[in-house]
Structure 1
Amino acid sequence: MIAKRFKHIPLSILDLAPIKEGSTARDALLETVDLAQHADKWGFKRYWLAEHHNMPGIASSATSVLIAHVAEKTKHLRVGAGGIMLPNHAALVIAEQFGTLESLFPGRIDLGLGRAPGTDQMTAYALRRDLKQRVEEFPDQVEELEAYFTGTGIVRAFPGEGLDIPIWLLGSSGFSARLAAEKGLPFSFASHFSPNNTIPALNIYRDLFKPSEQLAKPYAMLGINVIAADSDEEAQFLATSSEQQFLSLRRGRPTTLKPPVSNLEEMCTPSEWIAVKNSLTSGSTIVGSPETVKRGLENFIEKTNADELIIHTQIFDHKARLRSYEIIAEFMEA
């Protein structure tokens, strides 16, 4: 039963365009395009890019610009934002940007919306010039954005008005799960960094869901970290790059993506090492050989009843990153 379900569940990619130690943002963006073109051939459904700011290891800050570039270089993938942090922007600007994208690449654009700043408070101030906005205002922002697409806004969005651009709500807690359910929108949950909240948020979303013109029944796409290689040992070695990134964020000093190391434990305090190990055993991070990864994904699907998975993979070596996604793509053909 799981094998049949796995074969029919769509798999997608979440890319933060990682900037690696010793490389540049241009290098990262070229690798993003290369990965997207491979994903296009391998049969992945979506390629989403995430908005982050003031992060030296992430090149996807100008998310709408990068979506346009990736969509231009691919043919079949749905390309979108995972997501646009709506409080950082005027809703009208996002309507016009995504109206432009949909006009250029009809039927291929997704708009995922988040309510977090995607950065620290100082950078949020630099983006907004005002930190008075409250979390409770996010639903009103979503309503305003939707109104621009339907032509009922306070002004009109051109391009944008009248276009069918799927809106997703993103979340790592129950807030967006509840809002997505009330509005009848597809929901993407960040299991890859909030694994303990996954099942509670999904229960809220599915229990409270109200059908809408966009969606007749709940549709949940879950984020998951995967590092696949030809052996468990190789995958575990490759994973030390993302583990170092985890450590840098925990220490409040984000860095570029670093090469893998064989002595990670020596670089950690005892409490940090426990945190690293816990992140790997959460069920939302899977590291290993094709057999290990396939089994982990099947277990995750069975546990969550996910409708779609969006896979995040941080690997220093680009060829090894491509190989990881190639291994995952082979599961769709089995």
Structure 2
Amino acid sequence: MMRARNIVFVFLVSLLVLEVFRVCSAYGDGDGDGDVAGLRLNFYAESCPNAEIIVKGIILSRVPTNPTLPAKLLRMHFHDCFVRGCDASVLLNAVNNVPAEKDSIPNASLSGFDVIDDIKTVIENKCPGVVSCADILALAARDAVSFPYISNKWEVLTGRRDGRVSLSSEVNANLPSPFSNFSTLWQLFSSKGLNLTDLVSLSGGHTIGVAHCATFSNRLYNFTGKGDADPSLNPIYAQFLRSQCPNPANSATTVELDPGSSKSFDKNYFNILLQNEGLLQSDAALLKDGNSFQLVERFSNSSDFFNAFATSMVKMGAIEVLTGYAGEIRKRCSVVNPTN
């Protein structure tokens, strides 16, 4: 009888260990090195050991001659992940005259596709059909922002596969708009599994880059129907913006998102928000909620922003990813593979 009980006990303990292992495998081991949504560090260590070195090498050779590249690739990665998840669908061209994501108005100003294509070409020559375009984009965005801006870069987990669908019609409903209020921003971010800290820290990516006049000129002219600017906008800053973006503005004109600091990845973005100099309506919206306001203040007064940004980038990079046998590994990032 005692022996039978021992056998049953061992059996139950074994089941418990297997269940714990299953849960840990699904959610990671908690030390930052485990799987997240099926992704892991050094996914290509055996199948294409030089993949990440190739990405970094090409990015480091391009940034010095194209200092706007970090903001471009960071924005592209963000726009990819918020529509259909991080599956490189933003890189696909239109098919059969059906507009793709890159053809939508919010994505019309995206650039840097040529850099991703160049990286893919080199990697395909070394490791054909192994490294996904989605992973290349995630790595390229990290490497571009990390050099020369910040040393405490985030770890990019890899193992994404590429999607086969890209529709312009899906962009507006999933991508935060520069005209979004706080409620809309929060709804979109939470629908992607991101929290308030993610919303505020990822908005801090606006510490680099520029915006076209059309994305904020609504705040400069006749905002309340009386010909004036948005009263929440610093009046001196509003006057400066009007000098840069007359009404109607040249569609090609751009203004720095972070005045005087748009080429440095720092926490100055949060300082200008508190001075009512957030350029976009979606920037200013972070001051409209008490909890997000507290985060803006915290990030402006400490180095917490950089760690929070790194954590949020890992979370964003795992949104609705395709792994395992889902999706495909595209041979060219702009087109899906032939089906026969």
Q: What's the TM-score bracket when you normalise by the shorter of the two chains? A: under 0.3
Which structure has more relative contact order (CA 8 Å, sep 6+)? It is: 2
Scaled by the length of structure 2, what TM-score is found?
0.24
Normalised to the residue count of structure 1, the TM-score between the two structures is: 0.24
Q: Tell which structure's C-alpha radius of gyration is larger.
A: 2
Greater strand share, 1 or 2?
1
